[in-house]
Amino acid sequence: MAYKGSENFRHNQPERLGVLVTNLGTPDAPTTPALRRYLAEFLWDPRVVEVPRPIWWLILHGVILRIRPKRSAEAYASVWQPEGSPLLTHTANQAEGIRKALQEKYGPNVRVGFAMRYGNPSIPKVLEEMQQQGVRKLLVLPLYPQYSASTTASTFDAIAHDFTRRRWLPDFRFISHYHDYAPYIEAMAQHIEAFWKEHGRKDKLILSYHGVPRKYLLRGDPYHCECHKTSRLLAEHAAFCHALALALSEALE
């Protein structure tokens, strides 16, 4: 096996700490061909669709990738911004905010990058860049507060797979969830309060989460439980003394 690595690696460069921020992904453009590439990668992930591969390949390539890309492209085009995908822009801004905060506290030897599980910038590409920058200790932060095998574990799979091809591996830490982390709850509360100050406070606050099939819960995935805990902690926050409702969007079984 040929392992990834530089032909002229600099062994005398300073050792750096790296933080890799990851998100789900986005197509490169709001077009049918770009959506077909993106959906083919996303929906082929066995963490996302737990169907036997031969059967799912026929469904995916015979039906879904013939119909869904055009509809999805139209939806993406309706929210696409001049600078590109909103998810890409927001993730880049979050990574930049983390970089500034960490470098202010720990100095310039901290490197922060961001990657997408599906699409670009890809996880292998950004890991290669960070290795070339001298990153020897790596913290991976998927931007999923609540753990799910279909999101968080899939990200871990992609990183672990990339590591199997590398000659050198960094010290490695992976943040699997932060659904009950006090600063996260506080940040959510502050964001909601700021919105209320600008737009007015209503009678109810509805928290909506992306849905996953019920069978995932029954098979041990904690996502459903962690969504409820996040909601409970937010409802117990001192800023909220009125009714709060929880909604999980429906998912296809």
- Given 174, 196, 212, the domain boundary residue is 174
Average pLDDT, the chain: 92
Q: Does 7 fall in a domain?
A: no
Q: CATH number of the domain that 129 lies in? A: 3.40.50.1400
The pLDDT score that the predictor gives to residue 246 is 56
* CA distances, 169 to each of 74, 77, 131, 139, 157 (Å): 41, 40, 9, 13, 15
Domain that holds residue 113: 16-25+84-174
Structure tokens at 53: 């591969």
Rounded Cα distance between 84 and 188, Å, is 26
Provide the domain count of the chain.
3
Check if the beta carbon of residue 151 is closer than 8 Å to that of residue 144: yes
Check if the beta carbon of residue 129 is closer than 8 Å to that of residue 18: no
The pLDDT score that the predictor gives to residue 252 is 41
Element (H, E) at 136: strand 135-142
The pLDDT score that the predictor gives to residue 241 is 58
The pLDDT score that the predictor gives to residue 14 is 84
10 Å Cβ neighbour count for 240?
Answer: 14
Q: pLDDT tens digits for 198-236? A: 999 887 888 899 999 999 999 999 999 999 999 999 988
With a CB cutoff of 8 Å and minimum separation 6, the contacts of 76 are: 27, 30, 35, 85
Do 64 and 96 fall within a single domain? Answer: no
Extract the residue ranges of the chain whose pLDDT is less than 70: 1-2, 5-7, 238-253
Q: Does 93 fall in a domain?
A: yes
